[in-house]
């Protein structure tokens, strides 16, 4: 059997180590569940339904509800309300609506060299790609650091280049619609600069090259393969001997 197409959600794990990429698993969290619901409400997808408040999502009644609503995203009543509030805030923002206009949840397949790749792009517009992100803060300064931590700067050019490789268009702009998950559900629309796109492009290509080497050798090393010297930073620091983290 051939290799599964490379998807960005997994590719970025190789930035931690090839071992993390090879052993990747996904554990659904409440935040991820809410994010999926908001994406469905705004971009289309599975129906989003609420389960009765105070009742656990297990047992015969819940199983019957799931069976009666195949494919639905079933949230607690509280999370259902939050998801709708987030979605409505985005809908009220004209800038967000503009860059979210296009083919939504667009599944694309392409090749970089001979390696099959794929991705589900939140929005493929006439000349842009857009990703919808629910993040703790949509303050532009904080989004910058979140984008660095989560690999968003690489994700957008990954999709742009994939669209071009697949012959689906020539996007020249990339946007992030960032929305906060709590009142007032502040929305910020951000456009990646040319410098950010260039850095992101070089980043994902480095990850992809590392992946190809690992696949060819079938070797998936962790962080280090030899003893690493452990030192303190060059600047003067105070050593904290508290027990905040167990040994």
Confidence label for 51 from pLDDT (cuts 50, 70 and 90) = confident
| pLDDT for the residue numbered 247 | 46
| pLDDT for the residue numbered 168 | 96
Q: 28-32, 95-99, 172-176 — which is least confidently predicted?
A: 28-32
Confidence label for 118 from pLDDT (cuts 50, 70 and 90) = very high
Domain ranges for the chain, please list them: 27-92, 94-219
| pLDDT for the residue numbered 241 | 58
pTM here is 0.86
How far apart are the C-alpha atoms of 86 and 191, rounded to whole Å?
Answer: 21
pLDDT over threshold 70, residue 243: no
Query: Right CATH number for 94-219 from 3.30.930.10, 3.30.70.270, 3.40.50.720, 3.90.320.10?
Result: 3.90.320.10
Mean pLDDT of the chain: 90
Give percent of the chain above pLDDT 90.
71
Buried b (16+ CB within 10 A) or exposed e, 29-55: eeeebbbbbbbbbbbebeebebbeeee
Q: What is the pLDDT of residues 178-192, one digit of tens each?
A: 999 999 999 999 999
Q: Which candidate, 192, 88, 198, 187, places its Cα nearest to that of 133?
A: 187
Confidence label for 61 from pLDDT (cuts 50, 70 and 90) = confident
| pLDDT for the residue numbered 64 | 85
């Amino acid at each position: 059997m051939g290799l599964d197409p490379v998807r960005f959600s997994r590719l970025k794990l190789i930035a931690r180590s090839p071992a993390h990429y090879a052993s990747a698993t996904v554990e659904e969290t409440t935040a991820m569940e809410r994010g999926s619901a908001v994406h469905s409400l705004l971009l289309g997808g599975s129906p989003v339904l609420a389960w009765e408040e105070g009742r656990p999502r297990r047992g015969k009644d819940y199983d019957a509800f799931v069976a009666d609503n195949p494919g639905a995203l079933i949230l607690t009543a509280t999370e259902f309300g939050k998801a709708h509030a987030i979605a409505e805030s985005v809908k009220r923002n004209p800038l967000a609506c503009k860059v979210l206009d296009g083919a939504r949840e667009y599944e694309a397949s392409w090749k970089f060299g001979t390696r099959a790749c794929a991705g589900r792009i939140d929005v493929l517009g006439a000349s842009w790609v857009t990703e919808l992100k629910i993040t703790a803060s949509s303050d532009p300064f904080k989004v910058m650091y979140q984008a660095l931590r989560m690999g968003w700067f690489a994700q957008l050019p990954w999709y742009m280049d994939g669209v071009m490789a697949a012959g689906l268009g020539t996007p020249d702009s990339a946007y992030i619609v960032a929305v906060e998950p709590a009142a007032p559900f502040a929305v910020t629309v951000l456009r990646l600069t040319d410098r950010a796109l260039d850095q992101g492009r070089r980043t994902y290509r480095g990850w992809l090259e590392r992946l190809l080497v690992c696949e060819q050798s079938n070797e998936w090393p962790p962080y280090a393969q030899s003893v690493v010297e452990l030192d303190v930073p060059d600047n003067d620091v105070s050593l904290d001997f508290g027990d905040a983290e167990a040994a």
